Every structure is written in structure tokens, then in C-alpha cells.
Amino acid sequence: MPPQSHNILESGYWEEIKPDFKLPAPARAAQWFLDLIRPAFLTRAAGPRSKQVIRRTAYLDGLRGFAAFLVYWQHHQMWAREAIAADAIFENAFGYDNQYYFAALPGIRTFFSGGHFAVTVFFVISGYVLSAKPLQLIQAGEYLKLGDNLASALFRRWLRLHIPVICTTFVYMTSWHMFGIWTSTEHKSNWPDELWNWYVEFKNFSFVFRTGGEPWFTYNFHAWSIPVEFRGSIVIYTSLLALSRCTRNARLWCEVGLIFYFMYIVDGWFCSMFMSGMLLCDLDLLSANGNLPSFFFRLEKRKKAIFYSLFVISIYLGGIPSHSLDVQVLKVSPGWKYLSYLKPQAVFDYKWFYLFWAASFIVASIPRIWWLKSFFEMRFNQYLGRISFALYLVHGPVLWTLGDRLYHATGWSRESHALPLASWINIFPLSKAGPLGLELSFLVPHLILLPVTLWLAEIVTKLFDEPSVRFSQWAYVKTMAPSIKS
């Protein structure tokens, strides 16, 4: 029967009425393909904006999407300007080595070199989201349901994270040999050798207990964070189960203790970020139930000042100079001398310590600052959130293929690419006038690059990302014992 065809005038929009008969297989295949490649802006919305219910944590989706865009933007900024070593400007403090650029100013620098900040935000959000349902069950004393929830989540997590990586890198790798596409990455002489190398790299790259080797995956360097996501997920699931029978205060103190351990005792910076997300989620759920420790109620009158302060601190710390691993460089960076003494002994790469606080503070402050929360709940940020994983995975291959050629065409050539891309150099030269990072010859290629990247991210979301969620759920149900299913 046609769905809900009554009250069409009152509803304010027409719903598509689906016919009772089935289309022929070729027609269904054609319809599926059109739905796959059709960009979101050509798709009719399900209804007016006012009728859409915004979830409690929708701002986290928007924040994740915006963070994914910052990663995209930083990688393009650095890639196009390799010839002038712009990373030494973007990733050093404003005024370091007498370099004064608008793009390096505190706060402003987030929009040019905020990629690392964005990744740490991913980790804190993941800790928050992964622990939300289990913490609800813990606080409600539903321990049997908690076991079921964690079993399902743990079974599905590796598949959900790695299937999109497998699919996108396989397609990217195959395109080199199928279409003869040149990229700066070293290619094998033939596809079978490439396939074998891809397999060997991926199996080691995706092994959760890997203790050595390079953290990079040749077929998508940006995917380094995916195994880290999985390891952080294991930390969350383990901690949830271990702390499930604790009292409220004991659980909160243990969460704080684990954060301290991972950041100040051992170099487990990413574990601290996941645990920070879990702690923030625990506190939010307790707050919603009016069950926060009394300490927090004493801060209620200063709530606005506290969270605005945390947001400002977050933006400043999120701009941590990261061009060098040497903390002595940080000590002579303007605005960072005294902050450099806060670095724990355990942390090898100091930037992760400051980014831990930056990411934790911004995730904590956004829902308490109404205009920030509203910004991340905007439709475009929600759209970015929906495709954020795919955007993270595809922006690199687009940059290394189409982007590399367009930048050469508008005047941003790289010496190492001059010979293989000689036919692209300066075929459409544009002015490099303007502040660093906003030159006309850099911005114009994004009239093509950004829509193409977003469009491919939509396709990957529909073709690999969303199906990976359904497949992992299907696999879990298929492997369940009959007694559990009933």
C-alpha cells in the first residue's frame, strides 16, 4: 500500500508514493546507480527543516564533520606549498624565527594547521559516543544488557572501521594500474605485485597488537588514525566492563585515574583522549539524571564563565606548534615558553599532551555555549558529519591525483613532480597575490576539488561506509547462538 498519502496538504510537502509492483531488475539496478551517484543537493529533503528532530548529541556529529573538513584543508595547504616549505610557517608559532603571518596567529591557525587538533577531537568524540549506551545501562544497573551491548560492539568494531579502508584503498591502488594514473607514491611494476604489497601492508597495519614498523599505510597515509581508533575502542570497552560494578564516585575517580596514567605515567596519549570522552559522557548522563557529585553543583553559578574560558583555552592549545618534536623549540616559541614546562616526562611527542586538553575542553564546552552548539547543529555541518569518515578516507586520494594536477596547472608546482606532470605545469597560471594560505591560485582549484571530494565522500558513504555498519551487524546476528537469539 502507498505510505501515508493522507493529509498531504497539512504536512506541507509531498511524499513519494511507491508503487506496489516491482521494477524489472535492470531498472532497479539503474535506479540504485542513480541514487548512488546523485549528490545530496540534488536529493529532495524528507521534509521541512522545522520537522526534523535534533538529537541530544547532534552537535557531536557536526563537530566531527567540521573537524574532518579541517583535516582536508590542512592537507591541501601543506601539499600545495611544499616547494616553499610552508609547513615551517603554518606549524610553528606566530613570530617564531621572525616569521609573522596571518595564518599563524593564535585561533586563526586552527583553520590552516588544525588537522592534528581535529584528529584528537575525533578520539574524544569516539570515547564519548562508544560509551554512551553502555554508561546508560551501567547507571541503570542493567548488567545483562550491558554484556550484550559490549559483546555486539566489540564484535562489530574492527569490521566497521576497516572495511571502508580496505575498499577505498583497493580501488585507489587498482586505479593506478587500470588507468595508468601517476602519483608520487612508489608503484609496483604490475597489479599482482601491487595487490600482494597492499595485502601485506594492510594485514600488519590493521593488527591491533602491532608493536613495530611504520604507522603509515602506503595506500592512504591519512588512515594511520584508524588502527588508533580501534585500540582506543578496546580501551573503552575494557574500562566499561571493568568499572561497571563500581559505585558512581569510584567509577568517576577510576576514569580520572586512567586518564592520568595514560598521559603522565606512560605514553598512551590516545588512550587518555578516549577515556576523556568516556568521562565527559558519564558526567553528562549523570547531569541529565540530576545525579552529579555535589562538587559540580557548587560551580553552577560560574558555569558560563567556566565553559567560555575552557573554549578559549581550547582554541589556544589547539594551535600548539608541531613542526618539531624537540620541546626546546617549543620553549623558544612566542607564547609557549611557560606552557612548555607542563609537558609530562612520559609524552614523547609533546603536541599530543596539549591537544588532549584542547580536544577535551572543546567537547566539554560546546554543548554549554548555545551559539557554538547551534553552529554545529547547522544542516551543512550535519551533512559533513554524515560523510565525515568517507571524507577523511577519500580526500587524500583526490589530493594526490586530481589536486596535484590542478595545483601544477595554476602555478603550485613541486620539483619532484615536474617531470611526470610536466604537461600540467602552468597551463592555467593564476596570481599568487594575497595572504599566505588564501592566494587566488590556491583557492580557484577548490572550485573543482571541494565539490568532487564531497561528492566522492557521499558515494563512499553509501557504497562502503553505511554497508559496513549493516554487514557487521548482520555478521554478528548470523554468528549468535540460537539460545541467545531467542
- What is the number of domains present in the chain? 1
Is residue 263 in a domain? yes
Give the residue ranges of DSSP H helices in 318-387: 327-331, 351-365, 370-376, 379-386
Is residue 462 in a domain? no
User: Nearest-CA neighbor of 93 among 79, 103, 82?
Assistant: 103
Helices and strands, counts by H and E, the chain: 23, 0
What pLDDT band is residue 15 in, cutting at 50, 70 and 90? very low
Tell me how far apart the alpha carbons of residues 195 and 202 are, in angstroms, rounded to a whole number. Answer: 10
Is residue 324 in a domain? yes
Cell of 109: 591557525
Is residue 220 in a domain? yes
Residue 194's CB is within 10 A of a number of other CB atoms, namely: 18
What pLDDT band is residue 20 in, cutting at 50, 70 and 90? low
Write down the residue that cell numbers 535506479 correspond to: 31
Percent of the chain whose pLDDT exceeds 70: 93
Is residue 447 in a domain? no
Q: Is the pLDDT of residue 123 over 50?
A: yes
Q: Is the pLDDT of residue 50 over 80?
A: no
Is residue 42 in a domain? no
Q: Is the pLDDT of residue 336 over 80?
A: yes
Instruction: Return the higher-pLDDT residue of 160 and 9.
Output: 160
Least confident among 14-23, 234-243, 357-366, 450-459: 14-23
- Asked if 172 and 464 count as a contact pair (C-beta separation under 8 A), the reply is no
Give me the pLDDT at residue 118, please.
Answer: 98
Give me the mean pLDDT over the 313-318 stretch: 98
Give me the mean pLDDT over the 453-460 stretch: 97
Tell me how far apart the alpha carbons of residues 82 and 70 are, in angstroms, rounded to a whole number. Answer: 18
What does pTM read for this prediction? 0.91
What pLDDT band is residue 52 in, cutting at 50, 70 and 90? low
Q: Which domain holds residue 342?
A: 116-377
Least confident among 6-15, 24-33, 78-87, 179-188: 6-15
Is residue 144 in a domain? yes
Tell me how far apart the alpha carbons of residues 289 and 291 are, in angstroms, rounded to a whole number. Answer: 5
283 Cβ partners below 8 Å, 6+ apart? 252, 292, 296
Is residue 26 in a domain? no
Give me the mean pLDDT over the 245-273 stretch: 98
Give the residue ranges of DSSP H helices in 103-222: 110-113, 115-140, 143-179, 191-205
Mean pLDDT, the chain, whole residue set: 91
Q: Is the pLDDT of residue 7 over 50?
A: no
